[in-house]
Amino acid sequence: MSSTTPLETEDFDYTANRPAITLHSEYTDQPAEEQKHRSHDPYVASFPEGGLRGWMAVAGAFLTLFVGGIEYAFGVFITYYLTHNLRTYSPSQVAWIGSASAFIHSLVGLLVGKLYDDGYYRHLIIFGSTLHVLSIMMLSLCTKYWQIWITQGLMMGVATGCLFQPSVAIVSQYFERRRAFAMGIVQAGASLGGILTPIMVNKLIPKVGFGWGVRSVGFLVFGLLVIANLSVSTRLPSRRRGAATISNFPTIDWKTFFDGAFVATVLGCFFMQMGTSLPYGYITSFGQLEGHISPSLAFYLLPLTFAGGLFGSPIWAYLGDILGVLNVVMFSTFISSGLLATILACKTDGAAITVSILYGFFSAGYQAMGGPVFATLSNTVLEVGHRMGTGYFIAGVATLIASPIQGALLGTDYIWWKPIVFCVLSLVLGVVLMGVGRLLLIKRRGSERKLWKTSFVRL
C-alpha cells in the first residue's frame, strides 16, 4: 500500500451512531488514553467494535451466508440426482455441478473483491440476491444435466460469488479487535443454512415433488435476502467515493501484495480446501452405501456435520482473536485430518454421529476463518476485498477439482479409503504450508526475534 504521507482526517461523532470514518493523522495532539486504543491499521484510526450498525451488518451478512447453504449442502442433491434424473451419470460427473458452482463463485471473486474495495458493495449484493433467487426458481424446472449445470452450477455460482465475499468483508469495517469473532458469527450462517436446507428439501420432495420442494427454498431465500439487503450498510470510504474527498487515498502496491507470506498461506488454503470437502460431498452417500449405518440416519449425517460447524464457527473465531487466526486454523485442520481418517472405522450409528459432529466442529476452524485469514494477511482493511478475492479464487480452484478427483478415486466400486487418504494428505500439506506462511508473516511484520524468545506468537 502507498503510505508516504498520512491521510487527511474526517472526524465523526461515534455517540450519534453515525458512519464513523477516522483516517490516521499524526496523532500528536491526542490524549494518551485515546492513542492507547487507536487501531493498528495504518489508515483507519479506530473501529466502533460493534454498535447498532455494526451488529446489523453482522446479522445481515449472517442471513446472506445462510441462503448460501444450498450450495454448501450440495451433497444431498448429489444423492438425489444419482438416484433420479441423473442416474445414468457417474458420481464424478454429477460432482462437477457442485464443484463448478463453487469454482465460479471463487472465479468471479477476483472481480468482486476489486468492486467491493472500489465502493460497489450495494450493487453487488442486489445483483447477487436477484440472481440467486432466479437460479433456485429455474432449478426447480430442470430435468437434464445441462439445465442443472447452468442453473445450479453457473448462475448460482455467480450469485453466491457476488454475495459471499462482500458479506464477510463488510464486517471488517466495523471490527478490528473482535474481527475474527464477528466473521465467525457470519460464517455460522452458512452452517445453519447447510443444516436446514437439506432437511427442508428432503422433507418436501417426497410430499410435493422436486419442483415445489426447491421453489419453497427459493421463497425462503427471497425473504431472507430482502432483510439482509436492508440491514447492511458500508462505513468506510472507498476508492470510488474516497478519491473525491481524500487526495492521497491508498492504492494497492502489487509489488508487495504477492509476498512470501501471502503466497504460502494461500497455497496452504488451496490444499486445505482440497482435503476438507470430502464429507460435505459424500458423507450421505457413504452412509447409504456402506450398509453399516441405518438408512434413516444416513441422510442426517450431512446436517449433523453442519451442526458441528454451526457451534464450531463462533468458538474457533473467538479463539482466533485471542490465540491468533493462523494458529487456530492450523490446529483445527490438523485435528480434522485425523477425524477424516476415522470415517473408515464408522461401523455403527453412534460412531457415524460422533465423527460427523466432531469433523464439522473442527473443520469449521478452517471453513469459518477464510475471511479472518485474508484480513490477517492484509496491510490495511482497505485492501481486504482484494486479498479475499485473490485468496478465495485460488481456494476455488481446489474446490473445482476436489470433488471430481474424490469421485474418480472413489470409482463405481466405491472404494472409500482412496479419496480419504488423498484428503488427509492434502490437509496435512495445507497445515505445513500455512505454517511457512505464518513464519514469513512474522518476518514481514518485523517480529521474527519474538519467535525465538517466546513459545507462542499471536498470528
Whether the pLDDT of residue 23 is over 60: the answer is no
pLDDT of residue 1: 41
The model's confidence at residue 241, banded by pLDDT at 50, 70 and 90, is: low
CATH of 51-453, one of 1.20.1250.20, 2.40.10.10, 3.90.1300.10, 3.20.20.70: 1.20.1250.20
Q: Which residue has the higher pLDDT, 398 or 103?
A: 398
Distance CA 157, CA 114 (A): 18
DSSP secondary structure letter of residue 446: T
The model's confidence at residue 84, banded by pLDDT at 50, 70 and 90, is: confident
Q: pLDDT of 167-207, one tens digit each?
A: 888 888 888 778 888 888 888 888 788 778 877 877 887 78
pTM: 0.70
Q: What is the mean pLDDT of residues 86-94?
A: 80
Distance CA 373, CA 366 (A): 9
The model's confidence at residue 106, banded by pLDDT at 50, 70 and 90, is: confident
Whether the pLDDT of residue 21 is over 70: the answer is no
Q: pLDDT of 271-322, one tens digit each?
A: 999 888 788 767 767 766 666 777 777 777 777 888 888 888 889 888 988 8
Whether the pLDDT of residue 240 is over 70: the answer is no
Q: What is the mean pLDDT of residues 399-415?
A: 80
pLDDT of residue 62: 92
Exposure string of 78-92, with b = 16+ CB inside 10 Å and e = fewer, is bbbbbeebbeeebbb
Whether the pLDDT of residue 4 is over 70: the answer is no
pLDDT of residue 45: 64
Whether the pLDDT of residue 142 is over 70: the answer is yes
Whether the pLDDT of residue 2 is over 50: the answer is no
pLDDT of residue 272: 93
Distance CA 353, CA 94 (A): 26
Domain boundaries, the chain: 51-453
H helix or E strand, kind and range, residue 107: helix 91-117
Distance CA 250, CA 2 (A): 5
pLDDT of residue 376: 85
How does the average pLDDT of the chain come out, rounded?
Answer: 78
Q: Which residue has the higher pLDDT, 260 or 452?
A: 260
Q: pLDDT of 411-450, one tens digit each?
A: 777 788 888 899 999 999 999 999 999 999 888 777 544 4
* CA atoms 436, 437, 440, 445: torsion sign: negative
Q: pLDDT of 37-66, one tens digit each?
A: 556 665 566 677 778 888 888 999 999 988
Determine whether 297 is exposed, middle or buried from the number of CB atoms within 10 Å of its CB (0-12, 13-18, 19+). Answer: middle
Check if the beta carbon of residue 311 is closer than 8 Å to that of residue 361: yes
